[in-house]
Structure 1
Amino acid sequence: MTTTAPTTAERIRSACARAGGAMLAVEGLEPAATPVHHLLGDGSFAVTVPADGMLTAAVVSAGSAGVQAVLEMTDYAPLPLREPVRSLVWIQGRMFLVPDGEVAGMLDLIATEHPNPSLLQVNTGSADASEGDTPYALARLEIESVVVADSTGAESVGVGALLEARPDPFCGLESCWLRHLESAHREVVERLATRLPQSLRGGRVRPLGLDRYGVQLRVEDESGDHDVRLPFAKPVDDVTSLSQAIRVLMGCPFLNGLRARRV
C-alpha cells in the first residue's frame, strides 16, 4: 500500500526542524524561550535556557535529580490564515544542565547537524554577550513522553520511532514555496481546488502544507476551517519529482513542462 501521509514521528521531526523557537515550562515558573531544541542520538533533547533566568537556577538547585519540564513547539502555517497553528508538539521529561566539560563537544555536534546562531551565545556569560543577546546555558531533556496535536486530534509517539524518523526533505523550503504559490501562482491553487469535495469549493482555498507525500489545502468558509490532504501517487524525494507530482494533481497533461506540439 502506498503511503499517503507522513507518520506521526515524521510530522514531529519536521515540526522540530521548522520551529524557529520553542518554550520550556516548569511548574511554578514562567515559561522560558529556547531557540535551540535538538534531538540527540541517545533520545534526549539538547535545549538552551537563559543563563541568568529562574529556570536555570532551578535546574542548578535540583542537581542530579533534575526538574520535570515540558518542551512545547508550535508549527505555524507560513501564510496568514484565520487559524495559523498547524500543530503543537509537547515533549515531557526531566531536565539537567550539561556538565561544563561536555558543552563544547555537544555544541559542535549540534552545529554540524543544525547550525543555529544561538549556539554562539551558550556559556558566553553576561559580560561577554553582545548587546541585545541573551546568554544561554545548555541543558538536556530526557524524554518521558512525546505528543503531537493538530486538527485531526492528538497522538503520542515513542522515542525509538522518533529517532528512526527523519524530517521531510522539503520542510526547510516549504514556507517559501507556499508563500510563492499563494502570491504568484494562484492558478495552481485553483487547479488543485478542483480536487476538493464539492461541498468545500465555495470557501476560500489556501495552501496549508507541502511534503513528500502530498499537498494540504485549508478551506476557510462560514462553517469553519477545513483541512484536506491531496496525496501524490507515490512519495517524492527531489524537486523534479515533486514538480511532476503536483502537475499530476493539477491534471496537467505535460508532466515535464513540455509545450503542446504545433500541428
Structure 2
Amino acid sequence: MINATAGTSQTAPTTAERIRSACARGGGAMLAVEGVEPAPTPVHHLLDDGSFAITAPSDGLPAAMALTSHAVGVHAVLEITDYAPLPLREPVRSLVWISGRLFHVPTSDVSELLDLVASKSPNPALLQVNTDPTRSLGGDTPYVLLRLEIDSVVVADSTGAESVALGSLLDAEPDPFFASEPGWLQHLESAHRDVVDRLANRLPSALRRGRVRPLGLDRYGVQLRIEAEDGDHDVRLPFATPVNDVTGLNQAIRLLMGCPFLNGLRARRI
C-alpha cells in the first residue's frame, strides 16, 4: 500500500493492531482442521491468557475431534477474513491465520467463560452455546465453546504477509473506530462523494485515472482504493497525528481535505 504523505510520526496501525481490529470486526471466520470441511465460527475472542475462545457447530467434526483429543488437543487454524464494507472489485482487505491446538472447554467452565467473553465482546451467538453438561454434542444447541491455544499468527494483505508475536498481540488494542467504520465508509460513498473527490486530489496524478473508493478508516488515517484498468491500487492518507475520538477524526479528515475552517475561521458573508 502506498503512503501518500508519510511523516515522522506513526502513520498506520501496527500489524498487531490490524489483527486485533480484524478480530473485533468479526467478518467471516472459519475453523479449519486437517481432513475436515472448515466450519464457521461466529465468536472468536482473544483471552488474556493468549488463547482464543471460539464457537463451532455442535454437530460438526471439529467439535467432536476436540472433545475426543482430551489434553492433547488437535491442530487447527482459525482464518479471519476482513471484508471491505463496500462492494469493491476485490472485497477482501486482509486475511488473518491463527494456528494452534484446539481444545474442548469442560462444561463446568463454559458458563463462566461465556460471561467473560460477553462482558468484553457481546455477541448473540453466545446465547446459542451448549451450557448443559447432560446434553451431548448436536441436538438443538447450535454451538459449543472451544479454546484455541496459539502457536502462530500471520496476516496477509495487498502489501504481503507478516507474522506477529503473541505478546505484541496481547499488548495491542483494536482501533477505536472499528465498529463505526463500516457505516462511515458506506455514508462517504453514498452521500459524500465530494469528500472522497477532495481526498483523491491528494493522490499522485498517476493514481487518479481510476475509480476512487473509500477502503478503510482508522485512528491513523484514511485508505482509498483506486480501481483502474491496470488493476487495483491502495493508498493511505495519514493524519498529521493519530486521533482517538469523533471530534478529532472529523478535524483530521477536514485537514486532509484542505478545509480552511479548521481554526475558527468563518466563511465570508455575501
TM-score range, shorter chain: over 0.9
Is 1:77 the counterpart of 2:113? The answer is no
CA contact (8 A) 2:12 2:238 kept: yes
Corresponding residue SS for 1:4: coil
Letter in 2 for 1:249: L
Structure 2 matches for 1:83-122, cutoff 5 A? 83-122=90-129
2:23 counterpart (13, 16, 21): 16
Query: For this pair of structures, how many residues does the alignment match?
Result: 258
Instruction: State the one-letter code of the partner of 1:137.
Output: V
Where 1:6 maps in the other structure, the secondary structure is: coil
1:36 aligns with 2:43: yes
From 10, 24, 43, the equivalent of 1:3 is: 10
Q: CA deviation at 1:62?
A: 1.1
Match of 1:238 among 220, 245, 253: 245
1:229 to 229, 236, 260: 236
The whole-number CA distance in structure 1 between the counterparts of 2:61 and 2:189 is: 43
Query: Is the contact made by 1:75 and 1:86 (CA closer than 8 Å) also made in structure 2?
Result: yes
SS of 1:65's equivalent in the other structure is: coil
Q: What does the per-residue CA deviation read over 1:131-155, in whole Å, with 9 as the maximum and x for residues that have no partner?
A: xxxx211110000000000000000
2:68 corresponds to 1:61: yes
How big is each residue's C-alpha offset from its partner over 1:99-146, in whole Å with a ceiling of 9 and x where there is no partner?
Answer: 1111111000000000000000111655554xxxxx211110000000
Matches within 5 A, 1:112-191: 112-123=119-130, 127-129=139-141, 135-191=142-198
Q: Which has the higher contact order (CA 8 A, sep 6+)?
A: 2
CA offsets 1:64-99 (integer angstroms, 9 cap, x no match): 110000000000000000000000000000000111
Q: CA deviation at 1:253?
A: 0.5
Corresponding residue to 2:213 among 206, 209, 215: 206
Structure 1 length-normalised TM: 0.95
Instruction: Check 1:23–1:247 CA distance in 2 against 1; reply closer, same or farther (3 A cut).
Output: same
Structure 1 residue 228, shift from structure 2 partner: 0.2
Aligned partner of 1:132 in structure 2 is none
Q: 2:203 aligns with which of 193, 196, 209?
A: 196
Find the residue that maps to 1:46 and give its secondary structure. Answer: strand
Q: TM-score normalised to the size of structure 2?
A: 0.93
Q: Any unmatched runs of 5+ in structure 2?
A: 1-7
For structure 1, the 5+ residue unaligned runs are: 130-134
- Alpha-carbon distance between aligned partners in 2 of 1:179 and 1:102, rounded to the nearest angstrom: 41
Secondary structure of the 1:64 match is coil
Q: Distance in 1 between matches of 2:157 and 2:236?
A: 14
* 2:257 is the counterpart of 1:250: yes
Separation in structure 1 between the aligned mates of residue 247 and residue 265 of structure 2, nearest angstrom = 14
Q: Conserved in 1, the CA contact under 8 Å of 2:27 and 2:81? A: no
The structural deviation recorded for 1:261 is: 3.5
Deviation at 1:55, TM superposition (A): 1.3
Letter in 1 for 2:157: D
